[in-house]
Amino acid sequence: MNNLRFLITQSHSNGSQACKGIHHCALEEDLLHKHLSMGEVELARKVFDEIPQPSVFLWNAMIRAYSWKGPFHRAIKLYYDMLNSGVKPNKFTFPFVLKACSSLLALEEGEEIHEYVRRIGLESDLFVSTALIDMYMKCGCLDESCAVFDGMPNRDVVSWNAMIAGFALHGMYEDTIGYVLEMQNAGTRPNRSTVVTLLPVVGQAKALTQGRSIHGYCVRRYFDEDDILVGTALLDMYMKCTSLVYACRIFGKMSSKNEVTWSAMIGGYVLCDRMMDALEVFDQMMLEGSSKPASSSLASALRACAKLADLNGGKTLHNYSIKFGFLSDITIGNSLLSMYAKIGSIGDAVKYLDEMEFKDTVSYSAIISGYVQNGNAKEAFAIFKSMLSNVEPDVATMVGIIPACSHLSALQHGKLNHGLAIIHGLASDVSVSNALIDMYMKCGRIDHGREVFDRMSKRDVVSWNTMIAGYGTHGRGKEAISLFLNMQAECIVPDDITFICLLSACSHSGLVTEGKHWFHAMTLNYRIKPRMEHYICLVDLLGRGGYLDEAREYIRRMPFEPDVRVWGALLGACRIHKNIELGEEVSQMIGKLGPEGTGNFVLLSNIYSAAGRFNEAAQVRIMQRDKGFMKSPGCSWIEIKGNIHAFIGGDRTHPQSQKIYGKLQELLVEIKKLGYRPDTSFVLHDMDDEEKEHALLYHSEKLAIAFAILSSSNDKPIFVTKNLRVCGDCHGAIKLITLVSKRVIVVRDASRFHHFSDGMCNCRDFW
């Protein structure tokens, strides 16, 4: 009896402890769920770790929390811990852990989970299959996504949306639309999520008709009424299709707007080159104060300020960046850098670069491009050099720095950057190759440019245009035309830029008949409507060829009002052919429009000076001065052993000026023996012949050539770059200098390249 009482007491005691344990576990589970409901994931995790044997339900709850809130890798780690603990996942586990794999693009783990799903027979489950589709799509495995989708016995709107979203994510417009149509044919109606997923790829494809059709569907289904996501997606689509009227109408009707809505509107205006409107919408957003601006809104507004050269507005946005704590955002930081650099406030750009805690290749690329665009190529080289000690260059960096070599005609720097592009695996990129072609062409090495072009595995229309333009500026018009024909043979469709390059090539080579043919073929055969730039090329072509009346007639028949540039092309032809009467008429037309710069004043002054009418030339120069236009001094530069040496006409600041001027005097004596007589019509002032000869002798290109003869070996070609057109006297003198020095001389001026050799120039005096 006593033993029985003991057993009963013992049993009652154990039962009480068990009840307490169960009660304790229930309390912990309740606490865990409370933390999760409040978003306190780490506190929930601490409670979870104290539970001795969590159920599959609790494992799923924690995995789900991490898959939504992050860190995502902890969701995957918990899944493997769950397997190791002996708890079998169920069909609810896999959508959560696969979502974490999607977020991390963790394809290897996703494939392992898929294999486990196959083994336990859950592959046909609707929710698991949909999660697998999403994971494979985001990891770029489109075939695997399609295989899972095709194997599904049943599909709902969510699984269809997963496929549509995946193809849209990769910008595959046709496939995206195809699955929407299949979805409808299968009897599943698109919902709001379908529309929001579909519209971005429609906008990206600029498929306005399709976008309007989707808009109509939204109206019929009442999706557009007070749905901020659908409204934002619609206005973003219309903006990307440059249909501003519809976008503004939707924006105006929206009763509520979030930061994405404002960002879409501001970014859309920037995309459509409506910078003032973009800034007005940004100001409206800030005045309403309904939401904190998105970083993308601020970045778009900064791009607008950069385009408008609005430094004050840019600095205001900089202050907003500080106020809203965006300075740590690398995108905002780079946008600020780019804004300062493009406006030309290089000091602010450099200062901000030094202050940036985090810098990437985009940061350096922005300031390098800014330096190049503002003519500070040497400073761009210095920034690029400092960048190489911190980060590796990327495509954008190389595309930014290579043009600096082009501007300075710095071939050695260009070759060095070409080598860097090869080392870092960037030389095969189309945009880098295009920049290299342009650089070699502008540095006078057509052979190197063609070699880069021929090695390209893939070429775009810019590649062909760059080569055609390069051949044109080197006076090799027939090669430019041949390349154009090859372009068509390879089924590359020419654009309007192609024909500007082609017509310019014909102009530089005196191919008048060919140029006229391609001008008319452009409209008749290629359906490209000529714009002002095409007419400028045609007028230049006809004018240089001596067909001044025909050039004048083309200007008269233009379908739009001629501008200063096209009249300037005709005025340049009047200078070449010494047609004072037409030159005066053209000058009057330019005067009515208002000259854009010094060039047209100089041309007219040259015409009068060449005719010995120095009073009229002086009056033009006085008018030029009174209107505030200053003539840029002639400047030439040359690269010797990687160093750039610059010369201004008559300047004696170079350390070796005495030797240079002595060498020029020697060359003058020698070329006079060959028949050289100074062409004093290129001296714009009324002075005696001796003074004129002295002024001509010390033109900047002659100084650069003399220095090159002194400083480089006899077997190397001399390459000189000049900021203005080479004058006729220098052109004639350089031809004779090649005979005296037995050197090949290449001069790149503001108009074209002149290849001098054996007393001849490849332009055949036609420039």
Of 153, 170, 185, at which residue does a domain stop? 153
Looking at residues 103-122, what average pLDDT do you find?
A: 95
- CA gap 149, 159 in Å, rounded: 8
Q: What is the pLDDT of residues 382-427, one digit of tens each?
A: 889 888 888 889 998 999 899 888 888 889 899 999 999 999 999 9
| CA 199-203-209 angle, 5° bins | 90
Q: What is the pLDDT of residues 312-347, one digit of tens each?
A: 999 999 999 998 888 888 889 999 998 998 888 888
- CA gap 338, 301 in Å, rounded: 12
Sign of the C-alpha dihedral computed for residues 539, 545, 547 and 550 taken in this order: negative
Of 153, 168, 194, at which residue does a domain stop? 153
Q: What is the pLDDT of residues 619-668, one digit of tens each?
A: 555 555 555 555 567 789 898 888 889 898 888 889 999 999 999 999 99
Q: Tell me if 210 sits within 8 A of 199, measured CB to CB.
A: no
Q: What is the pLDDT of residue 627?
A: 58
Is position 165 within any domain?
A: no
Is position 678 within any domain?
A: yes
Of 100, 121, 153, at which residue does a domain stop? 153
Q: How many domains does the chain fold into?
A: 2
Q: What is the pLDDT of residues 268-326, one digit of tens each?
A: 999 999 999 999 999 999 988 756 788 999 999 999 999 998 999 999 999 999 988 88
Model confidence at 677: pLDDT above 90: no
Is position 75 within any domain?
A: yes
Instruction: Flag the least confident range among 65-79, 149-163, 705-719.
Output: 705-719
Is position 144 within any domain?
A: yes
Longest dimension (CA), the chain: 146
Is position 120 within any domain?
A: yes
- CA gap 94, 408 in Å, rounded: 60
Q: What is the pLDDT of residue 382?
A: 85
The boundaries of the domain holding residue 85 are 54-153
Q: What is the pLDDT of residue 77?
A: 96
- Sequence-distant (6+) residues with CB within 8 A of 523 are 529, 530
Model confidence at 359: pLDDT above 90: no
DSSP assignment of 221-287, as one string? TTTTSS-HHHHHHHHHHHHHTT-HHHHHHHHHH-S---HHHHHHHHHHHHHTT-HHHHHHHHHHHHH
Model confidence at 697: pLDDT above 80: no
For the chain, report the end-to-end CA distance as a whole number of angstroms.
128
Is position 460 within any domain?
A: no
Is position 711 within any domain?
A: yes
Is position 753 within any domain?
A: yes
Structure letter (DSSP) for residue 727: P
- CA gap 402, 466 in Å, rounded: 14
Strand partners, 754: 747
Model confidence at 238: pLDDT above 90: yes
In the chain, what percentage of residues exceed pLDDT 90?
62
Q: What is the pLDDT of residue 314?
A: 94
* 1: confidence class by pLDDT, cuts 50, 70, 90: very low
Q: What is the pLDDT of residue 157?
A: 96
SS3 42: helix
Q: Tell me if 712 sits within 8 A of 640, measured CB to CB.
A: yes
Q: Tell me if 72 sits within 8 A of 100, measured CB to CB.
A: yes
Whole-model pTM: value is 0.70
- Sequence-distant (6+) residues with CB within 8 A of 328 are 357, 358
Looking at residues 247-265, what average pLDDT do you find?
A: 92
- CA gap 512, 530 in Å, rounded: 18
Q: What is the pLDDT of residues 130-147, one digit of tens each?
A: 999 999 999 999 999 999
Sign of the C-alpha dihedral computed for residues 645, 651, 653 and 656 taken in this order: positive
